[in-house]
């Protein structure tokens, strides 16, 4: 019996298979967690891109209509692809500062936007007589695997752009 145990302890056949079986779970966890982190990063970048594109498109006009703004909001939804767009909230607003520097909302349009509060700009962003287009985008990201990240990650991005062709983008109709 002792001779059999010595022979079994000296046998090196199958060591590679055992080492592979021990390292496979570690490799699997690293691979899946890297994929989840990359997907979350891509979703966050898409949300930031949507916010900046909506502000940029709106700031290129002297006047906008409700239909123009609806088109901008609808078209920007496609930019969240390949992620589902059901959790995408959008708001486009025009803010301006009066002669005393007090900031007020000229107009605001939203699509599925449920957050409380008014649009705003950082302190000191607008001087007296200036205006800005402000966009707010919120996306609730749900990880594909849900093994290593929270079940829901909320990305909130804002963009601030000054009008290009006039001092203020007016909304008609």
| pLDDT in single tens digits along all 173 residues of the chain | 787 767 766 666 677 778 888 899 999 989 988 989 899 999 999 999 999 999 999 999 999 999 999 999 999 999 999 998 888 999 999 999 998 889 999 999 999 999 999 999 998 899 999 999 999 999 999 988 777 788 889 999 999 999 999 999 999 97
3-state secondary structure of 85: coil
pLDDT of residue 9: 66
What's the confidence (pLDDT) of residue 150?
85
Q: Cβ neighbours of residue 137 under 8 Å, at least 6 residues apart?
A: 47, 50, 51, 54, 88, 89, 90, 91, 155, 156, 157, 158
Which pTM was predicted? 0.83
CA distance 81 to 79: 5
Helical segments of the chain, H only:
2-10, 15-59, 66-77
State how far the Cα of 68 lies from the Cα of 101, in Å rounded to an integer: 29
Domain boundaries, the chain: 14-172
Nearest 5 degrees, angle CA 167-CA 170-CA 173?
175
pLDDT of residue 144: 83
């Amino acid at each position: 019996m002792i001779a059999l145990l010595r022979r079994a302890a000296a046998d090196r056949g199958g060591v590679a298979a055992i080492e592979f079986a021990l390292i496979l779970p570690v490799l699997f966890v690293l691979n899946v967690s890297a994929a989840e982190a990359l997907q979350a990063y891509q979703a966050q970048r898409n949300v930031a891109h949507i916010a900046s594109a909506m502000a940029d498109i709106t700031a290129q006009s002297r006047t906008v209509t409700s239909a123009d703004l609806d088109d901008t909001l609808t078209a920007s939804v496609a930019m969240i692809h390949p992620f589902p767009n059901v959790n995408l909230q959008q708001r486009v607003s025009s803010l301006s500062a009066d002669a005393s520097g007090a900031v007020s909302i000229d107009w605001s349009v939203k699509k599925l936007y449920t957050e409380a509060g008014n649009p705003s700009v950082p302190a000191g962003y607008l001087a007296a007589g200036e205006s800005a287009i402000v966009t707010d985008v919120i996306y609730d990201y749900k990880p594909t695997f849900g093994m290593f990240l929270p079940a829901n990650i909320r990305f909130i991005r804002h963009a601030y752009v000054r009008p290009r062709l006039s001092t203020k983008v007016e909304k008609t109709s």
